Amino acid sequence: MTKRYKATAVVQWEFELGENEQNPFKFAHDEISKMLSGDVSVRIAKVDKCKKRGRSHMILGEFSPEDVLPYVTSSDEKREYRVGKKQFFVRMNSHRYFVFRSSRKCVSCGLEGIKMLLEQHPNDKSPHFNLYAEEDGQLVLMTKDHIHAKSCGGEDRHSNYQTMCSVCNNLKASSNLTIEDIRQLRELYDQNKNRLSKKKLAALISETRKKLETPWPDEEGSARHKNSVVVQSDLSILRTGDGDLVGMPLYESVDKGKGMEHIASVKKGTPVAYVSQEGDRLVLPFNGETFSVYQGLTSYEETA
């Protein structure tokens, strides 16, 4: 004996109607009917009503990072991407794409971007890609974080960028925090996001952040931490095949770092706590681990 069931699903997408297609209900009904058999009930909302509820952009299609990041270029050329019968031309020289090509993982929590969504805002002339990770069944936007906050004098250059999920980026704000500090804030956030009200959680994060943050380095790059070294070159932190972390000059790493995983960038002038020395290399802390770097790429300054 067969059993009969009824299922209700919500399908959401945005579409445009041509001059000869004036009935959006009929168009949506016909499109759904092509996929399902039997009676179909359709309810739609106008796009402008959706935007009033906070939808400020359209998702045009989904691609894998491998469909996008290998084609990043410094030129202003556009690359064609197809979604169904539609074609879109996307500029491939965004700074974000270069950062994501180096690493798709958040430097703090390790969340990894796994899908590129082709999106377009109402005022954009052409669409762009955003990288997203998934956590607890929700999409999390990956961002290009300024290591030295732009609002505090940080520059728009590759050595001052790192990949960070939007959650950790919001927790960091414009404060001068180490990766370990941000990770501590993220753990605090995860432990309390379902326990405290938004207002109390925000107050807890703000109070903890103030305890962790230090002043930004001055123009001469003087260290603000006791027994710390100052990085004298823009560095890339890479993971070797043996699992160790090493630091090398940013642009030198393009060739010498081939085959290694890019973990993060460290901006020139950044103070880093000193751990130990092994031969001509210093061992410095990073995200719960340590990395080694040639001593000549740092300067030592103990402050009172």
- Name the residue ranges covered by the structural domains of the chain: 1-55, 59-170, 228-301
Is the pLDDT at 53 greater than 50? The verdict is: no
* 63-86: average pLDDT: 92
Strands of 73-127 (E only): list them.
78-83, 86-91, 115-120
**pLDDT of 50:** 41
Cα separation of 132 and 298, whole Å?
35
Mean pLDDT of the chain: 81
Please check whether residue 268 is in contact with residue 221, taking contact to mean a CB–CB distance below 8 angstroms.
Answer: yes
Q: Give pLDDT, residue 112.
A: 95
Range from 8-12, 210-214, 270-274 that averages highest in pLDDT? 210-214
Q: What share of the chain is helix, strand, coil (3-state, %, to 5)?
A: 25, 30, 45
Rounded mean pLDDT of 137-165? 87
Outline where 103-178 has alpha helix (H): 166-172
Cβ partners under 8 Å of residue 14, min gap 6: 47, 50, 58
- Lookup result for tokens 């001055």: 218
Please tell me the least confidently modeled range out of 12-21, 30-39, 187-196: 12-21
Strands (E) across 94-169 are located at: 115-120, 128-135, 138-146, 161-165
Q: Return the pLDDT at 17.
A: 66
Q: What's the mean pLDDT in 2-10?
A: 65
Give the pLDDT band of residue 47 (cuts 50, 70, 90). Answer: very low
Separation of alpha carbons 232 and 58, rounded Å: 44
Categorize the per-residue pLDDT at 265 as very low, low, confident or very high, splitting at 50, 70 and 90: confident
pLDDT for 262:
84
Amino acid symbol at 33: S
Tokens of 149: 């906050």
Residue 258's pLDDT is 79
Q: What is the pLDDT of residue 49?
A: 41
pLDDT confidence band for 150 (50 / 70 / 90): confident
pLDDT in tens, 101-117: 988 999 999 999 999 99
Contact predicate 262/163, CB 8 Å: no
Q: Choose which CATH entry (1.10.3430, 1.10.287, 2.50.20, 2.30.30) describes domain 228-301.
A: 2.30.30
- Report the pLDDT value the prediction gives residue 224, as an integer from 0 to 100: 43
% the chain with pLDDT above 90: 34
- The predicted pLDDT at position 7 comes to 65
The answer on pLDDT for 285 being more than 60 is: yes
pLDDT bracket for residue 2 (50, 70, 90): low
At residue 250, the pLDDT reads 78
User: What gap in Å lies between CA 50 and CA 57, rounded to an integer?
Assistant: 10
**How confident is the model over 207-243, as pLDDT tens digits?**
999 999 888 765 444 444 446 788 888 888 889 888 8
The answer to whether the CB of 287 falls within 8 A of the CB of 179 is: yes
How many CA atoms lie within 13 Å of 240's alpha carbon, on the beta-carbon side?
A: 10
